[in-house]
Amino acid sequence: MIDIKIEHIAIWVKVLDVSADFYAKFFGAKIGPLYHNPKTNFSSRFITFESGARLEIMTRPDIIENAVNNAFGYTHITLSVGSTDEVDRLTTFLGENGVTILSQPRTTGDGYYESKIADPDGNEIEITV
């Protein structure tokens, strides 16, 4: 059997530095160097979390917003913070710093203790134990 792991997940964002700063400020992620392709006007940065998980944030002027919620494809990122107390603390901290809280900490029907927030582009992030 092959040992497979997800190397990274990529999402489109409007402004790279706004999104990069969000993940660094609130989740302690390290911001990688800027990549820019002048031919396609594509730019990206890798955001690396302490665990080694990576998120590629990407932008290009011709990308438009998807006006359809609940479409097939990407739906959310879940970040584990280790304890229910930390879910509570971080959710409060995020709300106090202007981050949109989509749902307060709670135990879901499938047993997760989580809250939900939105990143600067409205992408959903679950914060869980």
Helical segments of the chain, H only: 16-27, 84-96
State which fold the 1-63 domain adopts: 2,3-Dihydroxybiphenyl 1,2-Dioxygenase; domain 1 (3.10.180)
Provide the residue-wise pLDDT of the chain in tens; the chain has 129 residues.
878 788 899 999 999 999 999 999 999 999 999 999 999 999 999 999 999 999 999 999 998 776 556 666 778 899 999 999 999 999 999 999 999 999 999 999 889 999 999 999 999 999 999
**Domains 1-63 and 75-129 equal at CATH topology level:** yes
Instruction: Return the structure tokens found at 51.
Output: 């665990």
Task: Report pLDDT for 18.
Answer: 97
Tell me how far apart the alpha carbons of residues 112 and 128 are, in angstroms, rounded to a whole number.
Answer: 7
Task: Report pLDDT for 73.
Answer: 72
Task: State the angle between helix axes of 16-27 and 84-96 in degrees (0 to 180), rounded to the nearest 10.
Answer: 130
Architecture of domain 75-129: Roll (3.10)
Q: What is the pTM of this model?
A: 0.87
